[in-house]
Structures are given as C-alpha cells and as structure tokens.
Structure 1
Amino acid sequence: MTLWTSAEIAAATNGQANQDFTVTGVTFDSREVGPGDLFLALTGEETDGHRFLGGAFANGAAGAVTSQSVTYPSVQVDNTMIALEDLGCAARARVDATIIGVTGSVGKTGTKEALAAALNRAHPGRVHWSVKSYNNHTGVPLSLARMPRETRFGVFEMGMNHAGELSVLTGMVRPHIAIVTAIAPAHTAFFSGEEAIADAKGEIFQGLEPGGTAIVPFDSPHRDRLLAAAQPYAGRIVTFGSGAGADVRAVETMRVESGGTFVTARVHDRELSFTIAHPGAHWVSNALAVLAAVNDAGGDLGLAGLALADMAGLPGRGQRFLARVPGGEALVIDESYNANPSSMRATLAVIAQEDRRRIAVLGGMRELGDDSAAYHAALVEPIDEAGISHAILVGAEMVPLARALEGRVDFVHVPDAAAAKARLIDVLAPGDAVLIKGSNGIGLSAVVAALKAPAMAGTGD
C-alpha cells in the first residue's frame, strides 16, 4: 500500500520533487532500506546520508529526500532533518486515529509494546506503533512518518535525557492519551534529582490534545508532582497502581507456574482477571497502565487481557530462552538493552523466583552522575535478596559494587563484555538461570548473542 507519493512528500516538506514516485516505507538508515522505501539522507557532524544514496537505491529504495540535487528519484529540501520532522507532523495531521504517548524512567518500551498488542487484538492491522526504542529526536518523527493514513490507533514511545526534550516530542505526537509509567533514577548526570526527572517526564502532558487523558502512576512518590504537571493540559486524569484510591488498581496478584502473574484488577467500576506472561511486579504495573489506556481509548479490556497473556519477551528487555551448554541447557533472561538502579532491582527480583542456581551478569549503569558509586554499591542488597550464587560484574562503573560484595557473594569483576562472555561460558551449567543486564553501552548484547548461537564458544564445536 502506498504510504506517501512524491507530491505529498514535497507538500509536507516544502521541497521540490524531480519526478513522480510512490513509497511504501520510510527510513534514514541505508542498511534498513527495502524495496519501495523512502530514504532520508540525514546529515550530521560525523556522517552524511548522501554518501549512502547508491546503496539505498541498490537495496530497492523508490525515492529519497535530499538537500542536494541528485539524479535519483527524490524530493530536494533545505534541511533533511527538518524535512523528517515535517513529514512526521504531516502523517500525524492526516490520520483520524486515537494517539497514545508513553514515557517513563522504566517500562516505557514494554508498556508501548503491550499496549499495541492489546489494541491490535481487537483491531488487527489498524494499529501503528514505534519499533524498537525509536523514542528520541529522530526516532519519534520517523515513527510518525511511517504511520499509514488508515491507522485507527497510534502508540508512540518518547524518551529524554535532558529537560525540554519531551515537550518538543509530545508537540509532534499530540497524544489523546499520555502515560507516565514510573519515575526512577536514570540519566541523573543531567538532573538535580528525581524531582527534576519527574518534571521532565511530566512534559509529555503539554502535548495533549484538548480534553485528552493523562495516566499517572498512583504509587509513585512523585505522583502529586505528575498530577500537577498534568492538570493544566488534561481534560481527565487517571491513576494506576496497587494502592487504595488508584482508578485502575491491582486487587490481587498471584504468581503462576509459568512464571507470570495472575492479576485481578479493578478498572474504575469494572473488575477483570487476567494473566501476564511476563514475571515481576514491574510488569503488573505496566499492565495496569495498559488497561487504563485501553479503557480510555474505548478498547476491549477482555481482549487486552488475552494479549497480555500471550506477550513474548522482547530481545534485551526480558526475553527468555534456553541456551545450549555442555551437558544440557540453561535459562537466559535477556535484559541487556539498558539498566538503571530501579530496573536492576526489579529484574534481580525476577530471577529470585527461579528455583535453581542463579547467576547474574551485571554491567555498569551509565549517566548516573555524582551518585553513580553509591547507586552501584547499593545493588548489594537486591543481589543478596535474589540469592545470586555467582555474579559477573562488567565495566569500571562496577568497582564500588565489587568492593561491597567482598566476602558476601562469589563474584568476579571483568573489564568488558568479551571477558564476561568467557567467564560465563566457564561457569554456566545445565539447569542454571542467568540474568544479563547492563547499560546498552556496556555491550552485553554480545554475550546474549553468543548464548543464542547454535554452538556456544567453548563447547567444543
């Protein structure tokens, strides 16, 4: 199906088309170009997308947006980054859809995926959502630009690491419903404290459409701050959590044999029982936010519950798989995409539920500023509580935790992901459970990739 015509692209970006063409997708990464795509030749300090035009068209691009005159089918503009933003805003303007924005220090990608799955259950093929973690100044307009005009629901993740960033992103997305999942220490190097993080996350409400709904975590110590941020912009505020008084509340929870959680929830004046495939209290909170949004959007709560039961883990964000090891298999919990103190505690609590030997590969948590050493050292408590038999600490940031663990837990401290992989292969045994978690820059996804390989290094294959 046609996503954009060259005339529509030119009108949206105030550009000039050199010929007629149509596209079925949009990307600014030439490696991701497929047949029929539009390639945006973005320019930056370190690269220039115009260098990759040949490769993009060799991969099947149907057109490009450029700031130079080229012979390929294209729309020429003054600035390709501004053109991407303009195309995203044009996509948002042309749809008759309910738009939902999601942000938070933790849980935003999982909540976005669960919400999209819940809505898609009732409206298959009519839901559009951000892929991966495309939640920044390039990812959000790209996700918008990819939205088909027939979309019924749009779900967009928005992130930030500085004040003011979310106000710009939410102004593009213009959500009818805006969710803050949770407030936790993350990117604290750029903020004076959690209150400042809450204020920055609360910027998402500034983009609400008139009469829109703000969804706020009831149990958060920053609830009142978020409520105050929402009140000038929201026509309606809905809270979710476990505390008495939450509009969408977990009345009862129970761990099920599969590792997930059976939940009885009250959604305003309705009661609903459902199972969440993902384990952990943090996923109960995510699910309540999903139900709050589905209900406010006029969706089907029963089908939303079924979608939550069927959800598989995302790579880097809770995906579980069995890895081949000499003599058998070991359970791997892949949380390698990112980490902050709150998410570290939550995922260590998840592996604590495994009735087997527990190993943790923990990478440094970045962008924590002056309090970084204290945050890392404080992980000794959840490691103890999780009953970790062996910990592999990765990166220079983990020095304070290594000192705190002396004499308490069997551990090694290694410099990088390659050394972590070598150590893990030495100690991992059949029946073990291993949690792999750290900031993305530590590179623990390489350890996960090695465990997914048909024949792990060191197994003799």
Structure 2
Amino acid sequence: MTVLWTFEDLLAATGGTASGPFDVTGVAFDSREIGKGDLFFALKGAETDGHLFVDKAFANGAAGAIVSQAVPYPHILVADTMQALEALGHASRARTKAKIIGVTGSAGKTGTKEALFAALDRCSRGRAHRSVKSYNNHVGVPLSLARMPADCDFGVFEMGMNHAGEMRALSHIVRPDVAIITTIAPAHIEFFKDESGIADAKAEIFEGLVEGGTAILPADNVHYLRLRAAAEQYTNAILSFGFSADADVRVIDHLDSVHNSTLITAKVCDAILSFNLSQPGQHWIGNSMAVLAAVLAAGGDLASAGLAMAEMGGLAGRGARH
C-alpha cells in the first residue's frame, strides 16, 4: 500500500515525541473506520475520549496513533491531539501542488462537492481528492486535508459553519485556490440576527484565498451584492453563476431528458456547453453552473465535467425517488 505519511513527516508536522518509527497509509479518528496501516487520532470530545478506543483501533490494523497519554502501541505523544490534527492538515496543504477548492453555502454543499470531485477526477484520471461524507467542521476539514495524497492534482473540501468566525478558521487551514458559496438561506438562523449575518459568516471563506484565487458566487441570490463586496476585499477574480442573464456562468436553456435527467445548455464565460445532468431538481441545475465555474477556475476540462455530471449516481441519503 502507498505510504500517505512517513514517520519523519508525521513527527515534523505534529512536533510530538515518538515511541518508535512507523509510516501510515491513511488517517482516521473513528476506530471503526481504521484499516490496516492507518494512523489513529485519539481525539477528546465533549462526550467521549478517543484514548478509550486505542485498543480497538490497533485491533483493526492501525500502524500508529497520535495520543496525549502514553499507550502500549506505536505512537506519537503530543500535548493536544486536536491541535496535532490541525497541524497535520496544515502540513498537507503546505506540501501539495494541487489546486484546492473550498465549497460552502446554506444548502447544496455536499452535492456540489461530489459533482465537482467527479468532474475533476475524470479529467485528471483519478488524481483528485475530496472530503468524504459531510466532514465539513473543525474536525472533518483538517482530517480530510490530512488524508490527501501528496501527488494530487485537485482537492475539493466541503466547509460548514453555524457561528460567525468558524468559516474564517477553516478557510485559513484549507487556503483555497477557488472558493464557492452555493447559496445563502436561513439555515442556523437561530445563531444570527438575520440572513445577512449568515451571508457575512459564509463570506469568511474568502479570507483564506491564496493570492490570485477565485471567488464563485450565486448570482440569483438576494445577498449576491453583499457576497461580492466581501469577496472583492480579497480577490479581483470573481465568477458568478446561476440563471441570471448577468451571470458569468449561466443556464441558457434546459429541458427534461430521459431517465429524470436534464439537458442543459450553458454559457461558460466565452464558451457554450451542452450536457446532461443526471440529478433531478432545479437546485441541481443552478449548482451545476457552480461546478462548471470551479472547473474553469481550477484549470480543469469543461467537456469532462459535462460527461461526469451526466454519469453521476445518486448520493447516499438524498435525492432518491420512491
């Protein structure tokens, strides 16, 4: 199996004290997800302590663990395992030459992330990486970064928040080359005075953009101008998407096709692209424009993106028809 992190790199990233050398082929914080050769992070949460599951992790094949208390297995001892996970996420971002895309929004994050991954994985012939499930918080984002192979061409990361300031912290870990906001809606409204507060919190994603990075914004959303003003503080490269006639990447026409798919004709800046979208729903049509905008900004292939969106299967737990 391919080594994901050498012992030397783990030690340099975490700054811990090692019981002995070991290389790892994967990373997890859930002992049930551990496979042969993986690194286990023993994280301490509000309800449980990962150190209680160290035995299970090694029984499942772990090669080593990051711990804050000594264990009778190969390990690196650190003061705080969560800080060590963040440090490994930073190290992964620092070593990669991949184009990194961050995806946030009040809805559509996971679907857009999956479609974008499918598009970029196709054009790079399997050299794309993305966060799995909805690993989009302060634990899931650095974990997803730590799992990224060093030789990827693209990395796609879902990023979520429900309080102001959370997106800022995630964005500075991910440091996206391309940052997408799918939409702004009253999700987690209980933590904000109104939707404009949600828009401001989501717009924190632009604070981590690398120099010359691209912001991708929903042209049809009522908060578009507010989002654009926020993005303009960090980049001059902004692409809008949606149904609006003023959008940079927009739907020209769409009609129902076979097997619940939609035939779409889109204007992608100066190009015209026609493709089938396998996923049903008006929201998917709009978000497919965000995918095309991101593929363009990241230097991917638009034709491959169209083919990938035609062949996408249903996402687990959503979109199934009964």
User: What is the TM-score normalised by the length of structure 2?
Assistant: 0.98
Contact 1:171 1:207 in 2 (8 A): yes
Equivalent AA in structure 1 for residue 289 of structure 2: L
Corresponding residue pairs, total: 321
Q: Could you tell me how far 1:145 is from its partner in structure 2?
A: 0.5
Q: Could you tell me how far 1:219 is from its partner in structure 2?
A: 0.7
Q: Secondary structure at the match of 1:120?
A: helix
- Distance in 2, Cα, partners of 1:51 & 1:243: 53
Q: Secondary structure at the match of 2:53?
A: helix
Match status 1:265 vs 2:266: yes
The ranges of structure 1 where at least 4 consecutive aligned residues each deviate by more than 4 angstroms after the TM superposition are none
Contact 1:119 1:294 in 2 (8 A): yes
Equivalent AA in structure 2 for residue 8 of structure 1: D
Give aligned-pair identity as a percent. Answer: 61
- Distance in 1, Cα, partners of 2:171 & 2:318: 24
- Distance in 1, Cα, partners of 2:210 & 2:292: 20
Stretch deviating more after TM superposition (9-18 or 132-141): 9-18
Alignment match, 1:86: 87
Equivalent AA in structure 1 for residue 134 of structure 2: S
Q: Output one character per residue of 1:409-459: Cα deviation in whole Å (capped at 9) or x when no partner.
A: xxxxxxxxxxxxxxxxxxxxxxxxxxxxxxxxxxxxxxxxxxxxxxxxxxx
Alignment match, 1:287: 288
Aligned ranges 1:7-26 → 2 under 5 Å:
7-26=8-27
Aligned ranges 1:388-399 → 2 under 5 Å:
none
Aligned ranges 1:55-454 → 2 under 5 Å:
55-318=56-319, 320=320, 331-332=321-322
Contact 2:242 2:287 in 1 (8 A): no
Listed as ranges, the gaps of 5+ residues in structure 1 are: 321-330, 333-461
Equivalent AA in structure 2 for residue 184 of structure 1: A
Aligned ranges 1:23-38 → 2 under 5 Å:
23-38=24-39
Q: Could you tell me how far 1:10 is from its partner in structure 2?
A: 1.2
Contact 1:38 1:64 in 2 (8 A): yes
Alignment match, 1:2: 3
Q: Could you tell me how far 1:171 is from its partner in structure 2?
A: 0.4
Equivalent AA in structure 2 for residue 153 of structure 1: F
Equivalent AA in structure 2 for residue 150 of structure 1: D
Q: Output one character per residue of 1:256-282: Cα deviation in whole Å (capped at 9) or x when no partner.
A: 131121100000011000010011110
Q: Could you tell me how far 1:317 is from its partner in structure 2?
A: 2.1
**Rg: which structure is higher?**
1
Contact 1:260 1:280 in 2 (8 A): no
Contact 2:184 2:195 in 1 (8 A): yes
Q: Secondary structure at the match of 2:76?
A: strand
The higher relative CO (CA closer than 8 Å, separation ≥ 6) is in 2
Contact 1:134 1:157 in 2 (8 A): yes
Q: Could you tell me how far 1:298 is from its partner in structure 2?
A: 1.3
Give the CA RMSD over aligned residues: 0.8
Q: Output one character per residue of 1:9-53: Cα deviation in whole Å (capped at 9) or x when no partner.
A: 111011111111110000000111110100000112321111111
Q: Output one character per residue of 1:214-272: Cα deviation in whole Å (capped at 9) or x when no partner.
A: 00001110000000110011130000011111100100010113112110000001100
Q: Secondary structure at the match of 2:259?
A: coil
User: What is the TM-score normalised by the length of structure 1?
Assistant: 0.69
Listed as ranges, the gaps of 5+ residues in structure 2 are: none
Equivalent AA in structure 2 for residue 206 of structure 1: E
